[in-house]
Amino acid sequence: MRISFFPGCSLEGTAREFGESIQSVCKSLDVRLEEIKDWSCCGASSAHCTSEYLSIALPARNLSIAEKTGKDLVTPCAACFSRLKTAAAMITDESKADFEFPCTGKISILHILEFLCQHDFSEKIDKLIKKPLKNLKAVSYYGCLLVRPPEITDAEHWEDPTTLDILVSRLGAESVFWPYKTECCGGSLVLTRVDVAKKLISRLLDMAGEADADCIVTACPLCQANLDTRQDEIASEKGVGQEIPVFYFTELMGLAFGLEGTGKWFRRHIVDPRPLLKSKNLI
């Protein structure tokens, strides 16, 4: 199966392990991700704060390229997903605006989680599982942009999504209920209002601990970075140890599939997940 792929900027930097695990998992599922040619930044956190035109024109340029392939477009970044979906809605709605990048809306825009979980991969996933993630207790964290606003994302259950929870259970782990799965982590405020971001991150970490979870599983590069990189700082300020591994869902898929490279992915985390995985006899 071939699908058009918009990688976004973070896969070559802070979310390198996400990109590598996506490629490995998709290869095992016989999915060929075809990166669209000459793609450019979608504007993500900055464009819509500074220029309405750029906030539409930047992602629209990529949509124009993707539509020429005739294949649906998949992206791994929640922010990219949000901007691409927003641009498509604005351009294809005649009552909004008519920008110079024509998009007909003939292709679907999917986040990689949606693509792997809502297409017919269930049987393949079950067959590929070699080491079920038994005894691992995880809370699923969707963040804001995968599901909201629903009129843009087309999410059916934007207040209580279950796609990631179901996948975690399918992999053999225990999906732990918690009411914070779509709460904000602060997003790019971590660069401008660190105080606000740390307060939001701290609350999420506290609630994951209160839910007695071993780890947090996410599908967003910025969410993962925020939750993973600020734990030592928050713990130092609070005077209380606070350490919980934060996985990309594709890393756990790769682990359950027995794929090579998982150790390399885990070494890049700030909060080292290997002691936890060793204690569960998963590595």
* pLDDT single digits (tens) 194-225: 999 999 999 999 999 999 999 999 999 999 99
Residue 36 has pLDDT above 70, yes or no: yes
Asked if residue 67 lies in contact with residue 159, where contact means CB atoms within 8 angstroms, the answer is no
Query: 241: which DSSP letter?
Result: -
Mean pLDDT is lowest, of 52-66, 162-176, 200-214, for 52-66
Domain ranges of the chain: 2-114, 129-279
203 burial (CB, 10 Å; 0-12 / 13-18 / 19+) is middle
Class of CATH domain 2-114: mainly alpha
Q: Name the DSSP class of 215.
A: E
Mean pLDDT of 147-175: 96
Q: How do beta strands 2-5 and 109-111 pair? A: unpaired
Torsion angle (degrees, nearest 10) of CA 216, 219, 223, 229: 60
Q: How many CB atoms lie within 10 A of CB 109?
A: 27
Q: For the residues 68-78, what does the mean pLDDT come to?
A: 96
3-state secondary structure (DSSP) of residue 34: strand
Which tokens belong to 81? 């997903």
CATH of 129-279, one of 3.40.50.11810, 3.10.180.10, 3.50.50.60, 3.40.120.10: 3.40.50.11810
Whether residue 238 is predicted with pLDDT greater than 80 in this model: the reply is: yes
- Banded model confidence at residue 166, pLDDT cuts 50, 70, 90: very high
The amino acid occupying position 167 is L
Q: pLDDT digit string (tens) for 241-266?
A: 779 999 999 999 999 999 999 999 99
Instruction: Name the residue among 41, 149, 152 with its Cα closest to residue 90.
Output: 152
- Residue that has been written with the tokens 């701290």 in this structure: 202
Q: State residue 95's pLDDT score.
A: 43
Q: Average the pLDDT over 158-184 and give the result.
A: 97
- Does the pLDDT at position 191 exceed 60? yes
Residues 6+ apart with CB under 8 A from 161: 142, 146, 147, 155, 181, 182
| Residue pLDDT, tens place only, 113-146 | 999 997 789 999 999 999 999 999 999 999 999 9
Average pLDDT, the chain: 93
